Amino acid sequence: MGENLLLRQRMAEQGLQQVDLAKLMNDHVAARTDTLGSFSERTVHNLVTGKTRSPQAKTRAALEAIFGCTSEELGFTPHPGAKRPDPPEAPVLRRRFLSIAPAAAAAAGIPGLSSRPSAVSTSDVERLRAGLRTLAELDHQRGGHQELERAALAGAEAAAQLQERPASQRVRSALYAVAADYTATAAWSCVDARRFDQAQPYLDRALALAGLSGDSTAQLRLWNATALMAYQQRRYPLALAAAQAAQSCGIVRRDPFFAALAHMRVAVGHAALHDRQAALRSLGHANDALSRAAGDAPRPSWAAFFGSPELDGLSGIIHEHLGEYAQAESACHRSLAGTPTRFRRNIAMVTARMALAQLHQREIEPACATAIQAHALMGNDPLPGRLRSLLGDFHRGLIKVAPDSRETLEWRETIRAIEESHQS
């Protein structure tokens, strides 16, 4: 029984210690299932030393996702009679993510990068971050769509290409963080469009990259996105587990702003599971943390959406789950009063939430008017999947509550006219 030199070499290429690899494997399991991973440094030690030569399927899947190759290429032997699974879709670490046309980056305003073989500098990293700001603004306006996804992947590939050039350890870590943020943007675009099957592999890649970067803010972003996707899928225990994982990120202990965001995700998870006391307790922690957050502190562009108005909007979701529809409507009103107009997609989402709260109170006429406003806010742009799903919930609720009312008939005719005008 000899040492697994192939695995050790792969770990050395990525700068991974045994504890680092165990964490990435646990992140992979948590992102794919409803449970946290149980891999330890001892698990990895057994893999490296050759004590474990034919690991179980869960271990193989995690290793293949992290290193982007088959378990046999990592030096392991297959189980007798085991069917060889399809090879991983793409390498995760320090390889090209997808073949994306360079025009996608240009279309999104991502600055061009020099092809000279000189060392990567912080200015290269900052130029990539400028592209992230551009994509964040596009998301705020239009929500998730395929052009945003493609542009984000182009930015991730640009960061991956820079990893092939000389760089200091600090710059290299920053490149991993930027690649994680671009990949997270692609994942978020798919979540917002409700393309969950496509979002999951992006989340897996981004979690691995964030782990390599050591950037706890990037890690928090990924757990936040994982929690939100699980919530959209109505996998509420997983949504709560991911939100609680976000609370363990170092940035949560250092910055009350991110602590507030993590507490809010936990509060929504508890509310979805109808645990009123835990939900309101976490909501209180979120309000307290945000009141202590420095408003002028530099933070990544993806976090610009969060603040008092967003906290009010999420409070509306919490009260809705708890059956407190008047409080939900009031929270939505506060959110809309304070949300800047550049966050068009978020405004439309909160408006749709308010329509649902009004509907639950049997306020049919104002509910229909509010829902029509939410639909119209996106103008001629297609509705993001999350918004379309929310308005679908409203439509089904309206038919159930008041199937033959004048307001229901007018709602259906108005929405039909809006959709026909978009198609013409």
DSSP for 297-327 reads S---GGGGG-SHHHHHHHHHHHHHHTT-HHH
Question: What token pair was written down for 17?
Answer: 């210690």
Q: Is 296 left (phi over 0), alpha (psi -120 to 50) or beta?
A: alpha
Could you give the CA distance from residue 376 to residue 391 in angstroms, rounded to a whole number? 12
Size (the chain), residues: 424
Residue with tokens 């050395």: 12
- Number of C-beta neighbours around residue 198 at 10 A: 15
Nearest to 289 by CA among 263, 322, 313: 263
Could you give the CA distance from residue 367 to residue 86 in angstroms, rounded to a whole number? 49
11 phi, psi to nearest 5 deg: -65, -40
Could you give the CA distance from residue 293 to residue 286 in angstroms, rounded to a whole number? 11
Q: What is the pLDDT of residues 364-380, one digit of tens each?
A: 999 999 999 998 898 88
Q: C-alpha angle 135/419/380, rounded to 5°?
A: 35
Amino acid sitting at position 119:
A
Is the Cα torsion angle 198, 201, 206, 209 positive or negative in sign?
negative
Q: For the chain, which residues make up each domain, given as ranges?
A: 5-68, 121-214, 342-424
Question: What token pair was written down for 107?
Answer: 């279309």
pLDDT at 253: 93
pLDDT at 108: 43
CA dihedral 372, 370, 194, 203 (to 10 degrees): 140
Question: What token pair was written down for 192?
Answer: 């917002």
Q: What is the pLDDT of residues 226-269, one digit of tens each?
A: 999 999 999 999 999 999 999 999 999 999 999 999 999 999 99
Could you give the CA distance from residue 18 to residue 401 in angstroms, rounded to a whole number? 57
Cβ-contact 272, 239 below 8 angstroms = yes
Nearest to 60 by CA among 97, 19, 88: 88
Q: Give, for all 424 residues of the chain, the pLDDT tens digit.
A: 578 878 887 777 666 778 878 887 877 777 666 666 788 888 988 898 888 888 888 888 888 877 777 888 788 887 655 554 443 433 333 333 333 334 344 434 455 554 445 677 888 888 888 889 889 998 998 899 888 999 999 999 999 888 888 888 888 899 999 999 999 999 999 999 999 999 999 999 998 899 888 889 999 999 999 999 999 999 999 999 999 999 999 999 999 999 999 999 999 999 999 999 999 999 999 999 999 998 778 888 899 999 999 999 999 999 999 999 999 999 999 999 999 999 999 999 999 999 999 999 999 999 999 999 998 898 888 899 999 999 999 999 999 999 888 888 888 888 888 777 666 5
Which residues are CB-contacts of 323 (< 8 A; sequence separation ≥ 6)? none
Residue with tokens 């910055």: 255
Amino acid sitting at position 56:
Q
163 phi, psi to nearest 5 deg: -65, -20
